[in-house]
């Protein structure tokens, strides 16, 4: 795989270094780690090893050795085995590997490992969970809580009961009785195969493997064989199992993985059981959406053409990169990989596995083995299992002696040349059946063919497989499944995949798009939205720009209908509820988003729910967004903007309907009038004309709008203005809507305008104080709001540790919003992962405030800024960076409000002195003529509506 990686996975090859233990050597996990480090350094061209090590954190992953218990993936390494797309997860790829699944967790751990120079991970496990922080120690071991019985299969860390971070001793696969005995005095966790090393610890390990730092070489040219887990680890801890003064001098810490999940992929049964456990990680079927059923448990068919019959009885199947025609009969416990197109007539009995391994040219080797085989032990021993029975029995049943086969009694099963090479197209199903049969008929032709033909051992197949051919076949089979999956999108995982990647791949195949009318969506209204964006990407890649843009527009239109459509079926008829001379006065604070923004945006929130923490604030002592509503004698709707000095009069339904398209005059006010019933789309077509409706209403309406915040401020102005206006009109018209209903109408308004924003702005301004706002997946986004203690923020404001600075730079989020929403439609894996982290940060903000943890809150804001910049590089333009540079070293955390790029900046300081210095630096040297600090206070009221 190391040699084939540039052809099989060029993107990965471009960002990593891969090597293997030199032929004839087995360096062990410790020696292999040392060798990989040395080889990667030499490949880098850096003069000094220590300089290279200090240049950045290194992630080392051991890919799996000879893979005796999982021979199907010996050639690629377990790290590159395909992993099934999971029915509950979005943003996956049909060609995803165990490495693809592992890497996000390992990257998150590395992000928190400041000062560590190296991380080592096992390539045959998948970890899930949370690591909040990494202690400052030379060696940090990640662990999970488990039972003594489960611990007997792994390395086990015994820790101090009063200080669980402190390692006492490490044991490799201790018997359950030993673990139970030690557990009377110590806590215990299993080693999950992820270790972090300081530069000091790396040097110590290298010396144990024969490294001479002065000459920068290993004694004898190669590291000595050394086991990281079975030797080096035994010297760690305050009471190590084996004494070693140098290793004992290293500081060691153990970190439990919170909510940890551990999935092993070490042997045949593991890949099925771990995949099944992953598929069922989410059991709530109401959250799964369109997915295949579990009518065939523990059956996994990947990258294959499968035409044979199967039922629940065929449990524990792993069919990958294979063609299984209807002439095959399967039972249970099969691993079948690499089988090319064929018309063989085969019957596999319980536990029989088959693997076709491509070799140079057009030939391939047929490897046949048993489900539980370990590929270890001498051929002549009754204790050496092959095909689920003593290896010698296979030869006896076919009348073959080991001597005539050129094999020795004591030869290890892994090195014995047992597997025949066959030219593609020149093999019969009868011959393969003869190889597999428990009691084969005598057949001299087959016997002689096996004896006289070229044969390979399992070890040779792992070293000589033609991986380029293997990957090409896998790709062909996988692409054949794409149109089938698309056609059955309501019952397949197709629209949960990373559609951007799938569409690029689909476009390259030249396959026709499935006609829309042939797809049965089974009532799922979100899938057609994904489908239109999928078509858009495919058509664009094929040069059909006009059709691609039409599909893109249709996707946004369908999304808007999901939000606005329900309001068409709930008509409202406004009735004047004020006296002739009364004025309704509505006013709202602005909002500062702290964490979670973007998770509230459709379609993400509709499929995953949203999780946002924000604050409602008055600026300079006043709610900055205000609306006045009064009656007029003329039957028209009049809109005035106090801050813009503009006025417009709407006399017809057509005038009101002019909200369509951002940039139309007073589009927010037009849409708000429509939503409260002054348009036939929302009043059930009760009236023929607007003047007729207004005469029935008792006169016209004049609204005056005041937004005392600059446009593009990032404070949610447009949405809060819309909510304030709808709230004022609802009160004026006797509709009785609460803040939740007003917020729902604002979400509809934004879809009507084509801006497509989320719900956090309106909730942020309409509801008072600091709060955590959460929604569940679903088309109706009913929010649950939890209040955070206002005292926490009042104190920070009074102490001057929380500042709001207007940068004088404006940025309208519409274009950015459309771009990121498009990636949501496409289930772009990177975007979805970032938004998941953003949503999680919203909860952490709430928890920090609940704990009165200012330092934790600083970390949340810092994390928000990092995540926003990762999502959109334009969040931090050079002008904003200039502000940041001026206060570098004084601020503790900062972020721009809203989508970023300009507007208001929230700045946090550790103490009053730092905050005073920040204020002095920016006031003495402002960014521009508009830049200024603004006094803020937490709003205790949110939206207020009163009458004169």
- pLDDT, mean of residues 170-191: 96
* pLDDT recorded at residue 815: 60
Residue 278, classified by CB atoms within 10 Å of its CB into exposed (0-12), middle (13-18) or buried (19+), is buried
Number of other residues whose CB lies within 10 A of the CB of residue 307: 11
Q: Write the DSSP string, 783-824.
A: -EEEEPPHHHHHHHHHTT-EEEEE-S-----HHHHHHHHHHH
pLDDT digits (tens, 9 = 90+) for 276-286: 999 988 877 76
3-state secondary structure 464-479: HCCHHHHHHHHHHHHH
Residues facing 703 on adjacent strands:
629, 639
* pLDDT recorded at residue 353: 98
Please state which of the ranges 105-119, 716-730, 875-889 shows the lowest mean pLDDT: 105-119
pLDDT digits (tens, 9 = 90+) for 346-358: 999 999 999 999 9
The whole model's pTM is what? 0.90
* pLDDT recorded at residue 900: 81
Confidence of residue 300 (pLDDT cuts 50, 70, 90): very high
pLDDT digits (tens, 9 = 90+) for 597-653: 999 999 999 999 999 999 999 999 999 999 999 999 999 999 999 988 899 999 999
Arithmetic mean of pLDDT over the chain: 93
Q: With beta carbons less than 8 A apart as the criterion, state whether 216 and 23 touch.
A: no
* pLDDT recorded at residue 727: 98
- pLDDT, mean of residues 829-854: 96
Measured between alpha carbons, how far is 239 from 241 in angstroms, rounded to an integer? 7
List, in order, residues 6 or more apart from 462 with CB less than 8 Å away: 66, 67, 71, 74, 75
The token duo for 149 is 């019985």
| Conformation bin of residue 455: beta by default, left when phi > 0, alpha when psi is -120 to 50 | beta
CA 362 to each of CA 76, 109, 365, 465, 470: distance values in angstroms, whole numbers, following the listed order: 19, 44, 11, 12, 11
Q: What percent of the chain has pLDDT over 70?
A: 98
Confidence of residue 775 (pLDDT cuts 50, 70, 90): very high
* pLDDT recorded at residue 818: 78
Measured between alpha carbons, how far is 811 from 875 in angstroms, rounded to an integer? 10
The token duo for 9 is 């996975």
CA 929 to each of CA 719, 806, 807, 900, 917: distance values in angstroms, whole numbers, following the listed order: 27, 11, 10, 20, 20
Q: What percent of the chain has pLDDT over 90?
A: 86
pLDDT digits (tens, 9 = 90+) for 665-690: 799 999 999 999 999 999 999 999 99
**Length of the chain, in residues:** 948
- pLDDT, mean of residues 870-891: 92
* pLDDT recorded at residue 751: 94
pLDDT digits (tens, 9 = 90+) for 327-345: 999 999 999 999 999 999 9
* pLDDT recorded at residue 457: 97
Number of other residues whose CB lies within 10 A of the CB of residue 87: 22
Q: Is the pLDDT of residue 385 over 80?
A: yes
Confidence of residue 710 (pLDDT cuts 50, 70, 90): confident
Residue 424, classified by CB atoms within 10 Å of its CB into exposed (0-12), middle (13-18) or buried (19+), is middle
Q: With beta carbons less than 8 A apart as the criterion, state whether 487 and 519 touch.
A: yes
* pLDDT recorded at residue 651: 97
* pLDDT recorded at residue 816: 66
List the one residue out of 890, 883, 881 whose CA is nearest residue 933.
Answer: 883
Number of other residues whose CB lies within 10 A of the CB of residue 840: 16
Measured between alpha carbons, how far is 611 from 608 in angstroms, rounded to an integer? 10
Measured between alpha carbons, how far is 884 from 937 in angstroms, rounded to an integer? 24
- pLDDT, mean of residues 698-712: 93
Backbone angles phi, psi at 638, to 5 degrees: -110, 135
Measured between alpha carbons, how far is 716 from 628 in angstroms, rounded to an integer? 20
Q: With beta carbons less than 8 A apart as the criterion, state whether 13 and 43 touch.
A: no
**Cα distance from N-terminal residue to C-terminal residue, the chain:** 79
Q: Helices 545-568 & 814-825, crossing angle to 10 degrees? A: 90
Q: With beta carbons less than 8 A apart as the criterion, state whether 184 and 128 touch.
A: no
List, in order, residues 6 or more apart from 523 with CB less than 8 Å away: none
* pLDDT recorded at residue 289: 63
């Amino acid at each position: 795989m190391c040699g084939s990686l540039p052809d099989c996975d060029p993107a990965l090859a471009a960002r990593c270094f891969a090597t293997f233990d030199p032929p004839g050597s087995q360096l062990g996990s410790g020696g292999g780690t040392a060798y990989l480090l040395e080889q990667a350094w030499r490949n880098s061209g850096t003069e000094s090893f220590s300089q290279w090590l200090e240049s950045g954190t290194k992630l080392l992953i051991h890919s799996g050795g000879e893979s005796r218990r999982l021979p199907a993936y010996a050639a690629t390494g377990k790290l590159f085995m395909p992993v099934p797309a999971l029915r509950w997860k979005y943003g996956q790829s049909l060609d995803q590997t165990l490495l693809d699944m592992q890497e996000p967790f390992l990257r998150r751990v590395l992000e928190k490992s400041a000062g560590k120079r190296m991380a080592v991970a096992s390539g045959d496990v998948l970890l899930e969970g949370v690591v909040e922080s990494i202690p400052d120690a030379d060696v940090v071991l990640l662990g999970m809580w488990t039972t003594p019985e489960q611990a007997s299969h792994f390395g086990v860390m015994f820790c101090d009961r009063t200080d669980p971070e402190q390692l006492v001793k490490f044991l490799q696969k201790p018997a359950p009785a030993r673990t139970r005995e030690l557990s009377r005095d110590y806590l215990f966790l299993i080693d999950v195969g992820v270790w972090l090393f300081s530069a000091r610890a790396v040097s110590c390990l290298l010396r144990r493997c024969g490294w001479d730092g002065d000459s920068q070489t290993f004694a004898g040219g190669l590291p000595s064989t050394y086991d990281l887990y079975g030797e080096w680890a035994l010297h760690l801890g305050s009471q190590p199992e084996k004494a070693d003064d140098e290793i004992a001098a290293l500081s060691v810490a153990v970190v439990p993985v919170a909510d940890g999940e551990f999935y092993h992929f070490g042997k045949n049964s593991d890949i099925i059981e771990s995949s099944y456990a992953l598929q069922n990680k989410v059991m709530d079927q109401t959250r799964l959406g369109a997915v295949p059923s579990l009518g065939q448990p523990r059956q996994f068919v990947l990258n294959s053409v499968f035409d044979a019959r199967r039922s629940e009885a065929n449990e524990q199947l792993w069919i990958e990169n294979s063609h299984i025609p209807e002439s095959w009969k399967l039972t249970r416990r099969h691993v079948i990989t690499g089988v090319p197109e064929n018309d063989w007539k085969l019957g596999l009995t319980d536990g029989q596995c088959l693997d076709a391994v491509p070799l140079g040219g057009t030939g391939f080797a047929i490897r046949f083995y048993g489900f539980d085989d370990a590929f270890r032990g001498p051929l002549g021993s009754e204790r050496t299992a092959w095909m689920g029975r003593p290896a010698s029995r296979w030869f006896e049943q076919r009348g073959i002696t080991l001597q005539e086969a050129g094999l020795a009694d004591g030869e290890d099963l892994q090195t014995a040349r047992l597997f025949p090479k066959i030219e593609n197209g020149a093999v019969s199903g009868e011959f393969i059946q003869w190889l597999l049969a428990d009691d084969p008929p005598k057949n001299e032709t087959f016997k002689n063919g096996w004896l006289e033909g070229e044969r390979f051992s399992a070890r040779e197949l792992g070293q000589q497989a033609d991986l380029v051919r293997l990957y090409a076949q896998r790709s062909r089979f996988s692409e054949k499944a794409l149109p089938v999956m698309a056609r059955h999108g309501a019952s397949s995982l197709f629209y949960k995949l990373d559609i951007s990647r799938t569409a690029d791949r689909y476009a390259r195949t030249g396959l026709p798009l499935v006609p829309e009318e042939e797809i049965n969506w089974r009532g799922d209204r979100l899938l057609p939205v994904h489908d239109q964006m999928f078509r858009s990407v495919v058509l664009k890649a094929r040069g059909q720009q006009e059709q691609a843009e039409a599909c893109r527009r249709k996707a946004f239109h369908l999304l808007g209908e999901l939000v606005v459509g329900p309001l068409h079926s709930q008509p409202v008829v406004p009735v004047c509820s004020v006296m002739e001379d009364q004025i309704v006065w509505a006013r709202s604070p602005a909002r500062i988003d702290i964490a979670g923004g973007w998770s509230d945006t459709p379609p993400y929130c509709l499929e995953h729910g949203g999780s946002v923490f924000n604050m409602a604030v008055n600026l300079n002592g006043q709610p900055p967004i205000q609306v006045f509503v009064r009656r007029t004698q003329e039957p028209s709707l009049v809109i005035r903007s106090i801050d813009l000095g503009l006025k417009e009069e709407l006399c017809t339904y057509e005038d009101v309907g002019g909200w369509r398209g951002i940039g139309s005059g007073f589009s927010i006010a037009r849409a708000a009038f429509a939503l409260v019933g002054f348009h036939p789309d929302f009043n059930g077509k009760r009236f023929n004309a607007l003047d007729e409706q207004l005469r029935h209403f008792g006169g016209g309406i004049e609204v005056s709008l005041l937004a005392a915040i600059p446009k593009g401020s990032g404070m949610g102005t447009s949405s809060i203005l819309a909510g304030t206006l709808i709230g004022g009109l609802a009160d004026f018209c006797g509709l009785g809507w609460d803040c939740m209903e007003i917020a729902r109408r604002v979400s509809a308004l934004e879809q009507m305008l084509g801006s497509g924003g989320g719900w956090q702005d309106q909730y942020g301004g309409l509801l008072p104080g600091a709060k955590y706002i959460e929604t569940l997946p679903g088309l109706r986004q009913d929010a649950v709001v939890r209040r955070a203690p206002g005292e926490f923020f009042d104190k920070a404001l009074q102490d001057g540790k929380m500042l709001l600075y207007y940068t004088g730079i404006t940025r309208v989020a519409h274009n950015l919003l459309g771009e990121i929403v498009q990636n949501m439609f496409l289930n772009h894996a990177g975007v979805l992962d970032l938004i998941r982290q953003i949503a999680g940060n919203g909860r952490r903000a709430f928890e920090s405030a609940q704990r009165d943890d200012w330092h934790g809150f600083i970390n949340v804001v810092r994390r928000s800024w990092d995540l926003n910049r990762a999502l959109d590089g334009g969040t931090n333009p050079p002008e904003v960076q200039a502000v940041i540079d001026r206060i570098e070293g004084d601020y503790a955390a900062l972020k721009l409000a809203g989508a970023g790029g300009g507007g208001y900046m929230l700045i946090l300081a550790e103490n009053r002195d730092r905050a005073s210095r920040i204020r002095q630096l920016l006031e003495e040297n402002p960014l521009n003529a508009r830049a200024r600090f603004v006094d803020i206070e937490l709003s205790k009221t949110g939206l207020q509506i009163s009458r004169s």
